[in-house]
A and B are shown apart, each in its own frame.
Chain A
């Protein structure tokens, strides 16, 4: 009964070991075949029988003799033909080795080659509908779908950054306006004329396309949503928190001065190294303050610390710890913490033992010495984080990764539809044809911000355009 092919990451994203992408549906084999080849560069999947494992590479589809240049990852591919699979459909599982970032890239390639991202619980749903599971499991399946979709929806909204949601809403509003204009002219041709509209819409499409391309780029480097390991930088004012963030970013993003309390609000950046993505939050220094604006920043810092997967606690190595440090430690005792003794370029008077004592000999406490302003010790810090990640102590925010892929897919669909609008204009199709793909684009963007179409168009027509009679 299902005609389309779905794909998703099927494993937890906890470490950089093996990650599995599952593809299921009638096109599963041909989709994977288009992005997978053996060590001789041959596409072999369609010749394989069921329940076989093939070794090879993920490559760009259509890459001919140049295939080696486009290798993304070395993988093992497991083939299971209908009905001998979990979903009872043709299923291909790609075992990737290259970590979370690569896993996402491979999935994107699969999606571009004709699969669609699976809905929450969809593999299980198919398994059930295709008769895989017995009746006693039906209730459980329904609960899974229910809870997963609730979770994915809430996380999607939570992770979409405010500015980006605003940009998408803005593009949608403009597309809707154009749609309503065309439609009102079609419904009421004697009152509303479409003369000269072609060129105007063409211009508009270019603007929309440009803006969506920028969004896709920002999805690429993780700026679209707050994904990665939620990392919060804490420390007393002027301990060097912003300098640390800048050191990671390699640019002066946060304003750094010698005046304590310069970072009054929360700065957020996404940093990737060695296949790990950190979503870093730079907070205002935590101290008792009379300044109302700064106080808001401090309160926020506390909230972020509460939700964090990892705390980077920056300590000024040239000054002795005091009340301020103790107060911070009381907030983060139960968290995964790396204590960073900063300003190693200055005479350091703080010892590791002293820090350990402050934390009442917290067992999993890691200590690193750096000079953020000179960039010394940064590599050691990165290695420390990597170790925590690979040992499974800290985890990627899985929902965020999935959300990012989902949003990307929607953005790319919206982009494709707008290209079709442009194509219709170029080939001088009548105006009513523009609506088809404008609407598709509008709908795709709507899935990102969690808005459905319903009767938007009719509402817009009535509110913006004066109809006749």
Chain B
């Protein structure tokens, strides 16, 4: 093959090259182009832009938060799912506001088409169907610097920044029992050349694995044996820019059924034919979306597992079988699926399969998602060891923004753990030792009460505006919203009601204990049995306010005590985050550091004392020593060393 690569050919100069047009690549490319940089996005197939090769939905617990945050910062995912959803649901509504999460079923084909339309119409953005085989780079001030990419056909694109969003395509291989194909998802062409180029640059790669269940012909499914799963009556859009009225439309149902002992028996009896259990798969798979084989083996005490049947779109019969991903051979799959009520006569359109791919240990990245060793090289999505469309989009957006920041000589956008799920996601990826594809979970966010999906705009819109992805008009709308929330909270706190008959009657009617002395409306709102809407009866001065405003007012008053406590924790956290560690620090000079800590710090090169404290193997005493060393360094008149861009 080598001889076929042409040495001369097309040479073009752009600002940014984005490798891959999945959920990360799309956000990265759009962000760069929207910020005015000439951008090319490469994909092995233009027809697979923003492809959803696994589950047919966007959002879900904590992932919905990510989508909202992407939207608040000026990303596209929220808007795109609002245009293409066929069912929508707010999860966890019976629980606290921090864990409410939106999830929408997508029409997969529509989703892809709409995103492609957005890309095609974006100024400064070019789509190019080509496999990038090589990164071009040079030495600059003793450090590697990326200068461009080269495609399989020999075309060279010079640029100032490259963003790698290769998803599951690098040296991908798909496994369905004994049969192995060397392709990306859905039989798409794998990218087999880039890995070697990355390794030559000194980038370390690893291998991860994930899987997807079968798709079935909807006509072969008996829904009468399943429970119908409806969408919400009133749909809430993902995007803060979407008009809520525009998303009230006819929705399609999903269906719930269960595996049984017979299913499990078939699986157990054929485990030796599973490539994972037979040891053929070397990649590390995720524990949070286990294959049905894994579930049966690891949770042997469970006599059944849920199976969700979800439509892949409006214009196809294909149905996704959620909960039963597998890499068992085709014949075992069919037998196993057919034991499930409603699937007795099912016909499989696409088999379930597992996929293995090359990715990196993201500890090679700064929190800006730029490689520590290669200036101008960024990466996002599954290539960074994450999993999920939403996780990918979030990283793609940040990588895109920061490539643009680098090219414009501005500070990178780094979100921390106390202001966003995106911050938690990226900090975990670049700090912790992740041994499996990383999925967002609400339990990973220690300040989750503050990081709600309902206030993502209040948390992040301003940053999106400063970066340049949020328009003046949208930003001004946010300021108005902020102001009305503040005023209404103030009003409720200062407006008191007396212990009169009218009030007592109202309280009694709603199962709330009577008042002994006067109380403010805010104090009444704190009672779990009362709501902002109910209080209208005893609040004659109330002026009508938009629902998104009153919702914030209600949450902030009702949970004030808890929110204040978290804010205090955040204060402590921020202190450590704001202590930056100079890039040229020599840990060997700090003799009081324990050996283990010194090794970890040298390997990691954390950017702040806060990040250092989260590295396993670094103790609080080591952090004290580090603080004192840094102070020492400052005082001894060290010229303020190059903090790099951090």
A462–B287 touching, CB < 8 Å: yes
CB distance from A405 to the nearest CB of B (A): 18
Which of B432, B571, B625 lies in contact with A3, CB distance below 8 A?
Answer: B571
A150 to B592, CA, bound (A): 11
On chain B, the residues within 8 Å of A432 by CB distance are 95-96, 98-99, 442, 448
User: Which A181-206 residues have a C-beta within 8 angstroms of B?
Assistant: 183, 186-191, 194
Whether, in the assembled complex, B61 has its beta carbon less than 8 Å from a beta carbon of chain A, the answer is: yes
On chain B, the residues within 8 Å of A207 by CB distance are none
On chain A, the residues within 8 Å of B566 by CB distance are 436
CB distance from B458 to the nearest CB of A (A): 20
Query: What residues of chain B have their CB less than 8 Å away from a CB belonging to chain A?
Result: 55, 61-62, 91-92, 94-96, 98-99, 287-290, 295, 298-299, 302, 305-306, 308, 322-323, 325, 432, 441-444, 448-449, 528, 559, 562, 565-566, 571-572, 575, 590-594, 616, 619-621, 624-625, 627-629, 631-632, 635-636
A138–B629 touching, CB < 8 Å: yes
B441–A183 touching, CB < 8 Å: yes
A461–B443 touching, CB < 8 Å: yes
Whether, in the assembled complex, A173 has its beta carbon less than 8 Å from a beta carbon of chain B, the answer is: no
CB distance from B276 to the nearest CB of A (A): 16
A25 to B99, CA, bound (A): 37
Residue of A119, A436, A454 contacting most chain B CB atoms (<10 Å): A436
Q: A146-B621, A455-B432 are in contact. Are A190 and B631 (CB under 8 A)?
A: no
B306–A191 touching, CB < 8 Å: yes
11 example contacts (A-B, Cβ-Cβ < 8 A) are as follows A128-B628, A138-B628, A141-B628, A142-B629, A149-B619, A183-B442, A186-B61, A187-B441, A432-B99, A463-B287, A467-B288
A234 to B624, CA, bound (A): 44
On chain B, the residues within 8 Å of A129 by CB distance are 627-628, 631
User: Which A72-127 residues have a C-beta within 8 angstroms of B?
Assistant: 119-122, 125
CB distance from A460 to the nearest CB of B (A): 10
Closest to A461 in B: B443
Closest to A459 in B: B287
Which of B298, B448, B571, B624 lies in contact with A125, CB distance below 8 A?
Answer: B624
A187 to B60, CA, bound (A): 8
Interface stretch, picked from A51-59, A248-256, A264-272, A422-430, is: A422-430
Residue of B94, B302, B593, B625 contacting most chain A CB atoms (<10 Å): B625
Q: A187-B443, A427-B528 are in contact. Are A146 and B625 (CB under 8 A)?
A: yes
Whether, in the assembled complex, A458 has its beta carbon less than 8 Å from a beta carbon of chain B, the answer is: yes
B442–A149 touching, CB < 8 Å: no
Whether, in the assembled complex, A1 has its beta carbon less than 8 Å from a beta carbon of chain B, the answer is: yes
A120–B621 touching, CB < 8 Å: yes
Per-residue 0/1 for A1-23: is the Cβ within 8 Å of any B Cβ (1 yes, 0 no)?
10100000000000000000000
On chain A, the residues within 8 Å of B593 by CB distance are 146
A388 to B91, CA, bound (A): 70
B99–A186 touching, CB < 8 Å: yes
B443–A435 touching, CB < 8 Å: yes
CB distance from B226 to the nearest CB of A (A): 14
Whether, in the assembled complex, A62 has its beta carbon less than 8 Å from a beta carbon of chain B, the answer is: no
B624–A121 touching, CB < 8 Å: yes
CB distance from A119 to the nearest CB of B (A): 7
Per-residue 0/1 for A367-396: is the Cβ within 8 Å of any B Cβ (1 yes, 0 no)?
000000000000000000000000000000
On chain B, the residues within 8 Å of A463 by CB distance are 287
A183 to B446, CA, bound (A): 12
CB distance from B325 to the nearest CB of A (A): 7
CB distance from A135 to the nearest CB of B (A): 6
B94–A430 touching, CB < 8 Å: yes
A183 to B440, CA, bound (A): 12
On chain A, the residues within 8 Å of B92 by CB distance are 186, 189
A145–B443 touching, CB < 8 Å: no
A468–B624 touching, CB < 8 Å: no
Whether, in the assembled complex, A143 has its beta carbon less than 8 Å from a beta carbon of chain B, the answer is: yes
A466 to B306, CA, bound (A): 10
A190–B306 touching, CB < 8 Å: yes
Q: A149-B621, A191-B306 are in contact. Are A139 and B592 (CB under 8 A)?
A: yes
CB distance from B443 to the nearest CB of A (A): 4
A143 to B636, CA, bound (A): 19
A435 to B322, CA, bound (A): 29
A462–B288 touching, CB < 8 Å: yes
B298–A466 touching, CB < 8 Å: yes
CB distance from B523 to the nearest CB of A (A): 14
A142 to B622, CA, bound (A): 9
On chain B, the residues within 8 Å of A468 by CB distance are 289, 306, 322-323
On chain B, the residues within 8 Å of A431 by CB distance are 95-96
Which of A1, A143, A146 lies in contact with B575, CB distance below 8 A?
Answer: A1
